[in-house]
């Protein structure tokens, strides 16, 4: 494989699909993974260059290893890894079940950890690599009713910072992008959850989310993608959690 290789998780829709298409336009051969083959095929159709469609549940035992093994067998070790797969759940602390808690940790924290563990050795050997985790402003700020999600995102930002410090002199950078509410299907699910629990109209629920940003609008997928590409391009940036939230959380 003459082209550099990128691996994007959660590539079936939203931010992951946008990142995959952008990396393809940058000249990468892009391996795509998420649960849905149909969605991955749609993302592959948006890409300008070679793609590898690898539907899987990243929380399943051995799934990360199988995906990376396949990429290496078909192409080469990924030089860019974007850990975007994630999900959210809303409940008060006292109503958060063990199952909900574990779901958030498994997908939002353990899966990225396993992905880094599996892909870092080849990057270190090549003395070059870019790892970007799509986290959330919830990695830095606690909000009510999302304790499990917030804990998982705080955890993954800690993973990013520690890995970046460890790899600082190897040519491998590790960063997180921390979006606010983005115009994606995941936010649409959040809106519906507010409607179901509060009786607000969808318009009222959306307005409440938009009001969290000084811009009074949702962040676009393209704005998050640009932040991810910055992390890929900039060799002097590592260990960062880059906020893309319209100025709601200033740091």
For the chain, the residue count is 251
pLDDT digits (tens, 9 = 90+) for 165-205: 999 999 999 999 999 999 888 888 888 888 888 888 988 98
How large is the average pLDDT for residues 124-130? 98
Residue 251 pLDDT level (bands cut at 50, 70, 90) = confident
DSSP string computed for 57-100:
-TTSTTHHHHHHHHHHHHT---SEEEE-------B-GGG--HHH
Q: What is the mean pLDDT of the chain?
A: 95
Domains of the chain are: 5-180+220-244 (3.40.50.720), 181-218 (no CATH)
What's residue 53's pLDDT? 98
What's residue 208's pLDDT? 86
Report in angstroms the alpha-carbon separations of 127 from 7, 84, 110, 175. Answer: 18, 23, 25, 17
What's residue 192's pLDDT? 87
Other residues' Cβ atoms within 10 Å of the Cβ of residue 75: 19
Q: Which pTM value belongs to this model?
A: 0.94
Distance CA 191, CA 201 (A): 9
Q: Hey, is 11 helix, strand or coil?
A: coil
Concerning whether 28 is annotated as a catalytic residue, the answer is no
Distance CA 191, CA 207 (A): 9
Strand-pair category, 29-33 with 5-9: parallel
What's residue 186's pLDDT? 85
Strand partners, 32: 8, 53
Other residues' Cβ atoms within 10 Å of the Cβ of residue 17: 26
Q: Hey, is 212 helix, strand or coil?
A: coil
Candidates 79, 71, 73, 100; CA nearest to 88 is: 100
Q: Sign (positive/negative) of CA torsion 175, 64, 46, 138?
A: negative
Beta carbons within 8 Å of 182's beta carbon, 6+ residues apart: 14, 15, 218, 219, 220, 221, 224
Look up residue 58 and give its two tokens: 């990243």
- Which runs of E-coded beta strand occur in the chain? 5-9, 29-33, 51-53, 80-83, 129-134, 172-179, 241-244
pLDDT for 124 beyond 90: yes
pLDDT for 37 beyond 80: yes
CA terminus-to-terminus distance, the chain = 40
Whether the Cβ atoms of residue 157 and residue 116 lie closer than 8 Å to each other:
no
* Active-site option among 28, 145, 149, 181: 149
Whether the Cβ atoms of residue 251 and residue 141 lie closer than 8 Å to each other:
no
Look up residue 121 and give its two tokens: 């050795």
């Amino acid at each position: 494989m003459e082209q550099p290789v990128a691996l994007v998780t959660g590539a079936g829709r939203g931010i992951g699909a946008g990142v995959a298409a952008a990396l393809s336009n940058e000249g990468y051969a892009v391996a795509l993974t998420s649960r849905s083959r149909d969605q991955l095929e749609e993302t592959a159709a948006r890409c300008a260059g070679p793609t590898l469609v690898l539907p899987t549940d990243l929380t399943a035992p051995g799934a990360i290893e199988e995906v990376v093994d396949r990429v290496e067998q078909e192409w080469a070790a990924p030089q860019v890894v974007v850990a975007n797969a994630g999900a959210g759940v809303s409940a008060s602390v006292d109503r958060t079940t063990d199952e909900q808690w574990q779901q958030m940790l498994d997908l939002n924290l353990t899966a990225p950890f396993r992905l880094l563990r599996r892909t870092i050795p080849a990057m270190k050997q090549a003395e070059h690599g870019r790892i970007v985790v799509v986290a959330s402003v919830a990695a830095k700020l606690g909000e009510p009713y999302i304790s499990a999600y917030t804990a998982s995102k705080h955890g993954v930002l800690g993973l990013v910072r520690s890995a970046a410090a460890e790899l600082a002199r190897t040519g491998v950078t590790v960063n997180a992008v921390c979006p606010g509410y983005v115009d994606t299907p995941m936010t649409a699910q959040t809106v519906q959850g507010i409607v179901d629990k509060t009786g607000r109209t969808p318009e009222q629920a959306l307005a409440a989310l938009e009001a969290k940003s000084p811009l009074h609008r949702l962040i676009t997928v393209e704005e998050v993608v640009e932040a991810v590409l910055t992390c890929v391009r900039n060799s002097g940036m590592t260990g960062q959690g880059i906020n893309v939230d319209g100025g709601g959380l200033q740091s």
